[in-house]
Structure 1
Amino acid sequence: MTTKFYDRLSNDLTQLLENPIDYNVTIEVGEAPNNQIFEVHSYILQSRCPYFRKKLNETSFNKNNVKVLKMSNISVEVFNVIIKYVYGGKISLEKLENSIIFDLLTSSKELDLDELVEHLQTHLITTNDASWLKQNFAQVYQTCYQVKSFDIIQRFYNNIISQHPNTIFESDNFISLPEDVIISIIELDDLQLDEYKIWDYVIHWGRSKNPTLPTNLDEWTSDNFLTLKTTLKNCLPHVRYFNISSERVLEKLYPYLQLFEPKLWLDINTKLLTPEKPISSTILPPRKILNSTRTLPIPSNIITDEHALKISSWIDRRETTYTVNNPYEFKLLVRGSRDGFDVKTIFNICNKVSFTIIFVKVEDTGEIIGGYNPLKIHNSENRWYSSRNSFAFSLKTEDLKNSIISRVTKFGHAINNGSCPNNSWLQFGNALNLGGNLKTETKSYCGTSAYEKSIRSNSDRFSVEEFEVFKVSPKK
């Protein structure tokens, strides 16, 4: 029987890192003035890390018999975690924000620390139901695809895309995705989307890459079609044309006839008119569309489905949070980046609409705050309205359990949701005050009057990176 004293070994090696006796390597990490020099030992680095084994073999000792390395692309905070793992085989993630953990993941990949790469992926997927990964979908998905080795997160994202394709196709980042990412998505066999809609999105992506193309298709020349065909040459073979109905072929494909090779276009029509007749074109299998009714994700650039479940639980005054089957539908009414950031826009678009909720992403800090308003919004009659069910809130993306709800306590001073020429404020008591142009002006602030507690740790005025207003209705 072999007895293993790994804890003692780990602690002793970690002490060697903290008191680097006989070090023979220095690593300058980060950029000045936030850089830091680590004094470490080549024999530990080479035995534990393939990257350092190669790097140190290529580096000569200086006159002080020390090898000098520089790693400006890794932050001091991230390298601190990595070097402690290299020496002691231990890692603690509890106090790290998920954005830092993702940076740690990409750095671990660069250093060929495969064990750490696998552990960090699993951690991000299992922590808080992967809410951070869902919140930062487009950015992380693109990084994962480019890196190739983040297979655990890649499979997680492919499952989301397959079941909820609008998550990616309707995002603001869709048109900025590179070609290889687009191809990887439309290759998915279980993508839950009608084939003609996939065609629409491919065309939309291609046209966005050529902004000089005429908006009106009737004005296109042969050169315009050739430009789009060139852009989409690697995407078009992955559309499953033989699974598109005749009506949709006429409506969707025919206007872009010049994108097709003559033989493929003939085969598409042959298959529609005489299905049993052999053709030479490759017929891709149909998508594996589920028969059950799918619940589409909330159409938001700010919050995730998990956030929506938390809000719904607060609306119903539940002690425990809904985890599946949200009883409410969230219909997007206003989005700042789409409709404008002036508060008056909310009053104009949402006039006489009740049961609304506003989500605000604070500039610079990324905080998500907002308020639930069961009353009708008015684009006139600026005054305070009474409510017993309104509340303000702060949603935490790192740990949803730490989110803050502040319910109204002074009912007659609950909501100021009317607009007039001399006033452009939307107010939840003093708990949330949104004024003027939310993006270009720094008027908005949070307090405590008329509501239970403050939803922010300070009362500083702020501007807004994005905001969205939803109509909240019980599902039928």
Structure 2
Amino acid sequence: MTTKFYDRLSNDLIQLLENPIDYNVTIEVGEAPISKIFEVHSYILQSRSPYFKKKFNESPFNENNVKELKLPNISVKVFNFIINYIYGGTISLEKLENSIIFDLLIASHELDLDELVEYLQTHLNTNNASWLRLNFAHVYQISFQKNFEIIQKFCNNIIAKHPDTILDSENFNSLPEDVLISIIRLDDLQLEEDKIWDYVIQWGKAKNQTLPANLNEWTSDNFLTLKTTLKLCLPHIRYFNISSEQVFKKLYPYQQLFEPKLWLDINAKFLAPNEPISSTILPPRNILNATLPTRTAPIPSNIITDEHALEISSWIDRKETPYTENNPYEFKLLVRGSKDGFDVNTILGICDKVSNTVIVLKVEGTGEIFGGYNPLEIRNNVSAWYSSQDSFAFSLKTENLKNSIVSRVKYFANAIYYDSGRSYLQFGGVLCLRGNLKTGKGSICSTSYYEKKIRSNADGFSIEEFEVFKVSPKK
């Protein structure tokens, strides 16, 4: 029986990293003025990473018998995690923001740390699916550029069931070609074939914005330009599963995109369906027989996810068990700081006399998300307290907060405070928003008039982004 003393080995190697006796490599990470030089040992790094093995073979020693490398595209924070993993085989993600974990995944891929790449993908997929969905377009593109198979599978499952997630997004026209192909190749893509054709044509036109808007004005060269752009996409359209009506309506105007034999076979299949043809007939997509649940449009937020919205809706309805699907409320975006401005008076002005609102805020530098529900009409040009029995403030679960916190109003007469003269909007004292939320640090969280704190830190804070929604029952 072999006894393995891995913990002691790991600790000893970490000590060597912290006190790099006989180091023979320096790695400058990041860019000035926040770069840092790490003193490390070539034998350890090249034994753990094919990337470093190749780099060390290519790099000469300097006059001090030390090899010098630079990694400007990796942050110091991310590389600290990586170098501790390389030396000690340990990594802790508990207090790390998801965006940093994703950067860590990208850097691990660049450095050929396959074990870490698989672990980080699994961690994000298992524990942080909400963040992946919230940042879906970016995550999806990177997953294909870097061949992150676990995250690709996660994304493809969402797209297959709800293709509008990406096809109707503002980022669709900028998708790389290989990403678009990966979508239209899906056998279980829940979308009619003629609509898939529409999206492919839309994407191709977006890549050639000099093409005339009116199809009747197109020349043969225009069609050739589009055909060249879509050369690798067109073979994945399942033409023989498009109805004759849609072929005439949607394909016929673009017949110059087709090879003559394929266009002849598409038409022949309608005229003589039992006669053999030479063109490849792709199998029909696996459209579910059962009707998919109606998918409501995702909440129009850059801060919270649909799951967050379900949780907030549960608090509005005072549900002991949170909603997990079929949100009974619609969240209509009224104000966004990055679009409309960050001053509290902007909220009071735009939302004057609007009731049943939810405000959500993301704190600068910490990733905290908190906010409040206000059933009352928002009032501009006043300075007064207003009474409510149903208002509440909250902190939402993030990577740094294990469970969400909801704090309901305790002293009803001091539920909501408006003061346009001083640019104040307050949920009692539990959430006090003051002045410019981005440039100032006058906003605070305490406990006055509500049940409990939503934030342990009583210091003033500034906001990275905020949004205000009108919450209405769905019809």
TM-score, normalised relative to structure 1: 0.80
SS of residue in 2 equivalent to 1:389: coil
CA offsets 1:311-347 (integer angstroms, 9 cap, x no match): 232223234434x334425365658699977769965
SS of residue in 1 equivalent to 2:96: coil
Contact 1:10 1:88 survives alignment (8 Å): yes
- The aligned runs of 1:41-56 (5 Å cut-off) are 41-56=41-56
How far is the alpha carbon of 1:29 from its aligned partner? 1.8
Equivalent residue in structure 2 for 1:166, among 164, 167, 173: 164
- Report whether the alignment pairs 1:282 with 2:283: no
Match of 1:36 in 2: 36
Contact 1:446 1:454 survives alignment (8 Å): no
Aligned residue pair count: 463
The structure-2 alpha-carbon separation of the partners of 1:306 and 1:247, relative to structure 1 and needing over 3 Å to count, comes to: same
The structure-2 alpha-carbon separation of the partners of 1:50 and 1:463, relative to structure 1 and needing over 3 Å to count, comes to: closer
- Report whether the alignment pairs 1:304 with 2:305: yes
How far is the alpha carbon of 1:410 from its aligned partner? 5.4
Match of 1:407 in 2: 408
Match of 2:67 in 1: 67
Separation of aligned partners in 2, 1:384 and 1:256: 64
Contact 2:105 2:117 survives alignment (8 Å): yes
Contact 2:96 2:400 survives alignment (8 Å): no
Separation of aligned partners in 1, 2:435 and 2:253: 47
How far is the alpha carbon of 1:185 from its aligned partner? 0.9
How far is the alpha carbon of 1:87 from its aligned partner? 1.4
CA offsets 1:102-144 (integer angstroms, 9 cap, x no match): 111111111111111111111111124x222122111121111
- Report whether the alignment pairs 1:259 with 2:257: yes
How far is the alpha carbon of 1:253 from its aligned partner? 3.2
How far is the alpha carbon of 1:183 from its aligned partner? 1.0
Separation of aligned partners in 2, 1:251 and 1:338: 42
Separation of aligned partners in 2, 1:277 and 1:206: 33
- The aligned runs of 1:372-387 (5 Å cut-off) are 372-374=373-375, 387=388
Contact 1:26 1:39 survives alignment (8 Å): yes
Separation of aligned partners in 2, 1:388 and 1:473: 19
Contact 2:189 2:286 survives alignment (8 Å): yes
Match of 1:17 in 2: 17
Separation of aligned partners in 2, 1:93 and 1:77: 12
Match of 2:95 in 1: 95
How far is the alpha carbon of 1:189 from its aligned partner? 0.8
Contact 2:299 2:306 survives alignment (8 Å): no
How far is the alpha carbon of 1:230 from its aligned partner? 3.2
Separation of aligned partners in 2, 1:267 and 1:383: 75
Separation of aligned partners in 1, 2:247 and 2:339: 34
CA offsets 1:153-189 (integer angstroms, 9 cap, x no match): 1111111111221211122222221111111111111
SS of residue in 2 equivalent to 1:286: coil
Separation of aligned partners in 2, 1:91 and 1:461: 31
CA offsets 1:57-89 (integer angstroms, 9 cap, x no match): 222222222222222222211121111111111
The structure-2 alpha-carbon separation of the partners of 1:26 and 1:434, relative to structure 1 and needing over 3 Å to count, comes to: closer
- Report whether the alignment pairs 1:27 with 2:22: no
Contact 1:45 1:52 survives alignment (8 Å): yes
How far is the alpha carbon of 1:248 from its aligned partner? 3.1
How far is the alpha carbon of 1:146 from its aligned partner? 0.7
Separation of aligned partners in 2, 1:212 and 1:444: 50
Unaligned runs of 5+ in 1: none
Contact 2:334 2:351 survives alignment (8 Å): no
CA offsets 1:16-47 (integer angstroms, 9 cap, x no match): 11122222222222222222222222222222
The structure-2 alpha-carbon separation of the partners of 1:217 and 1:32, relative to structure 1 and needing over 3 Å to count, comes to: same
Counterpart of 1:282, as a letter, is T
Contact 2:396 2:404 survives alignment (8 Å): yes
Unaligned runs of 5+ in 2: none
Separation of aligned partners in 2, 1:157 and 1:261: 33
- Report whether the alignment pairs 1:244 with 2:242: yes
How far is the alpha carbon of 1:460 from its aligned partner? 5.5
Counterpart of 1:127, as a letter, is N
Contact 1:25 1:40 survives alignment (8 Å): yes
Equivalent residue in structure 2 for 1:192, among 186, 190, 197: 190
Separation of aligned partners in 2, 1:345 and 1:253: 50
Separation of aligned partners in 2, 1:121 and 1:398: 16
Separation of aligned partners in 2, 1:340 and 1:214: 35
Q: Could you tell which deviates more after superposition, 64-73 or 173-182?
A: 64-73
Name the % identity: 66
The structure-2 alpha-carbon separation of the partners of 1:345 and 1:379, relative to structure 1 and needing over 3 Å to count, comes to: closer
Counterpart of 1:300, as a letter, is P
Q: Could you tell which deviates more after superposition, 55-64 or 330-339?
A: 330-339
Separation of aligned partners in 2, 1:213 and 1:344: 45
Separation of aligned partners in 1, 2:333 and 2:225: 36
